[in-house]
A = this chain, B = another copy of it.
Amino acid sequence: MDARRNNILKEIVETFIKTAKPVGSKALCDKFNLSSATIRNEMAVLEDLGYIEKNHVSSGRVPSEEGYRYYVEHLMEAEKITGSDMLKLQKIFASGELELSDAINKCMEIISDITNYTSVVLGKSSKDNNLLQVSIIAINSNQVVAVVCTDKGNVENKMFNIGDNININELIKTSEIINKMLAGTPIDEVSMRLEVDVKPIIKRQIKQYETVYNIFYDAFNDFVAGSSNIHIAGRNNIFNQPEYNDISELKRLANKLDDEELIEKVAENDTDEKKIKIFIGDESEFDPNVTIIRKKYHINGEEGTIAVIGPKRMDYGRIVSLLEYIDEKLDSRKDENGK
């Protein structure tokens, strides 16, 4: 892989990213001041190396997954963010009004807008959250709301209908016991501790302790279950990508974007958390026909993942730059509040 060959591969990848059409030898003549025959010879080598492919014997070349991989590792240059793009993103941070997670969501919506890809924000994992307190709020004599709050500021609430046999004061009393005993407990252990530590105690003090116990059990369980918090922006942008031009393909991808378990896997599996990671085609579990570019963030104890999903023919340089820019902005925000 000498310099010229690298440049030809780079040109092929980038042209294909722009046009979505196979790249022929003639198209590159001018750029390199070479005849199409020479380009063809080089292309044959690149094909032997596995970096580009043909759809049929007389079609232009298309980058293979290996080709994209080589491109992002050796050839890609970070693209400068255009003024108008930067402006749109800056606005979000300028006012400082938005809460962190809202700001991140907004950012990714803008990225989806300007790039025509789909964005995912995976935030607020319930991992590493500890119980701060649970409160009981009485709506009326039949209904109460249990509000569970963690030390990272995640709050979930759940309403319960209670019968006449339960006294609200008993619920409040129980909540106080729980707060005294379990505050600081990792939220995913609370249910267990509730059973082991709290149940025996309220058994002695509360008449309908089974029912009361169940209410709190449900409230905590709901917290763990409802805490995945996925935000997807530009879901319908897949309709704009020429590679997804048949309905069964679109349907498959749309279904995958609705599959929360699958989306959550986007955040999984990594070694170097700080770096932007690129999954091309089969490299991710999501779908062989997409690329996922993702960045993890950790800010003021809140952690999460932002990712962009698009065709393998994705504008890698641009997305990497945009994600880096956002990360930078988020970092500066950490400094503000860290003080």
Contacts and interface: CB of A to CB of B under 8 A. Distances in A.
A135 interface: yes
A137 B147 CA distance: 10
Interface string A124-155: 00000000110101011011010101011101
Given A153-B143, A239-B250, A135 B137 contact: yes
B145 A155 contact: yes
A152 B139 contact: yes
Query: How many copies are assembled?
Result: 2
Given A236-B255, A250-B239, A153 B139 contact: yes
Nearest to A157: B155
A337 interface: yes
Contacts of A135: 135, 137, 147
A142 B100 CA distance: 14
A332 interface: no
Contacts of A140: 151
A258 interface: yes
Interface residues of A, number: 33
Chain A interface secondary structure, helix, strand, loop or mixed?
Answer: mixed
A147 B157 contact: yes
A224 B255 CA distance: 31
Nearest to A159: B153
Contact of A159 (B99, B142, B143, B240): B99
B142 A132 contact: no
A245 B147 CA distance: 47
A155 B250 CA distance: 37
Given A99-B158, A135-B147, 5 more contacts: A132-B137, A139-B151, A239-B247, A239-B251, A254-B254
24 contacts: A99-B158, A99-B160, A133-B137, A135-B135, A135-B147, A137-B147, A137-B155, A139-B149, A139-B151, A139-B153, A145-B155, A147-B147, A147-B155, A147-B157, A149-B157, A153-B159, A157-B157, A161-B337, A235-B258, A236-B251, A236-B258, A239-B250, A247-B250, A250-B250
